[in-house]
Amino acid sequence: MQQFKRSFGREPNASELQFVKSSGSKSLIQLKQLLKKGYHVICYVDGEEGGSGERGWTQVHVHNKPLDVRMGMAILSQLSGVPIRPVVLTTEGEKLTVRSRGDLYVNNREQYSAAMQYCYQMLEELSAEEILQWECIPRLFDKIVPDKQHTAEKPIWLPIYAKEKNMLLDIVSGKFAEVSTSQFNKMETLRREFLKQI
**85-101 pLDDT, tens digit each:** 999 998 877 788 999 99
Residue 171 lies in a domain: yes
Report the number of distinct structural domains present in the chain: 2
Three-state SS for 157?
strand
Q: How far apart are CA 40 and CA 16, in angstroms?
A: 10
Examine the domain organization and report whether 7 and 98 are in the same domain: yes
Q: pLDDT confidence of 46, banded at 50, 70, 90?
A: low
Cβ–Cβ under 8 Å, residues 53 and 64: no
Residue 156 lies in a domain: yes
Per-residue pLDDT tens digits for 137-155: 766 666 555 545 545 567 7
In tens, the pLDDT along 29-39 reads 899 999 999 99
Decide if 12 is inside a domain: yes
Q: Which of the pair, 151 or 172, is modelled with greater confidence? A: 172
Q: Which domain holds residue 54?
A: 2-118
Residue 36 sits in the same domain as residue 107: yes
pTM score, whole prediction: 0.67
Both 37 and 112 in one domain: the answer is yes
- Residue 184: CB atoms within 10 A of its CB come to 19
